[in-house]
Amino acid sequence: MSVPAPGAVVSIPAPEAGRLQLRLVSLTRMASETARLKESLTVEELRRGNRLLDKERRDRFFAGRGILRQALAGYLGEEPGNVRLSEGEFGKLHLSDHLETDSISFNLSHAGEFLLLAFAAGCEVGVDLEQVRQDLPFRAMAERYFSAREQEELFSLPPGEQICAFYRCWTRKEAYLKGTGTGFSQPSNGFDMALLPDHPAELLAHRGSPGEIGRWSIKDVAVPKGYCAAVAVEGAEPEIFLATEPPSP
């Protein structure tokens, strides 16, 4: 992904109904572009990034937000700095004109050296990317955040399969929560997500809002080894297009 000069307007085809666009960006390979990407950020975005004490996290926040603005600018035919973003009650970003039925919705997630972005049209979308840690205390996390059914299925698997199943379930759950815009303000143990290896990604039950069943399509995303990712999109299962940026040399 080459970054156009500040102020350049580059129009690219916007997402269409039923077609989900995903972008997996190597932030390590984009590191040299951070200064240019920062030029499109708002004062508040710069302040937020500067509150991060760790330089690597700070630079990746700047790059991630700049890449998001660059992508949205391409869809809208705008300059990146002119893209107006707002936050929902629980922090989900959206375009300020998001109430329009054909508006682009989007979501993003950082993990390790990668940024994963999702773009959809006329429906909500959520995405989660995690770097797999073999030393993660996943049993304790599952007992806290997973439903009784999810815990039962997770711990019924052979020990060697449990860490992958944990991440599979976690990314699906978080993608769904981010898609709804509630995040973890909604109890994550209040609904059941499929996690067994032979079961497709699916929201199986929702005790607080049964109407959510069938309202969302959940899909795993193919990402590099050592990572796990999922996307949740409102409505019927979409056609998914995944681009890796910058392209591999």
Residue 129: the pLDDT is 98
The residue to which tokens 């591999």 are assigned: 248
- 53 vs 6: CA distance, rounded Å: 27
Phi, psi angle pair for 102, to nearest 5°: -100, 15
For domain 19-245, give the CATH superfamily: 4'-phosphopantetheinyl transferase domain (3.90.470.20)
Q: What is the mean pLDDT of residues 65-83?
A: 91
Pairing relationship of beta strands 203-206 and 19-26 according to DSSP bridges:
unpaired
Query: Which three-class secondary structure state does DSSP give residue 170?
Result: helix
Average pLDDT, the chain: 88
pLDDT tens, position by position, 114-129? 999 999 998 999 999 9
Q: How does DSSP assign 179-209, residue by residue?
A: HHT-GGGS-TTSEEE--STTS-S-EEEESS-
Contact (Cβ atoms closer than 8 angstroms) between residue 85 and residue 95: yes
Structure pTM? Answer: 0.89
Band of the pLDDT at 142, cuts 50, 70, 90? very high
Confidence of residue 144 (pLDDT cuts 50, 70, 90): very high
Bridge-based pairing of strands 114-121 and 104-111 is antiparallel
* C-alpha distance from residue 125 to each of 12, 208, 231 (Å): 20, 20, 7
SS3 60: helix
Q: Write down the pLDDT at residue 11.
A: 44
Inter-axis angle of helices 159-180 and 148-156, to 10 degrees?
A: 150
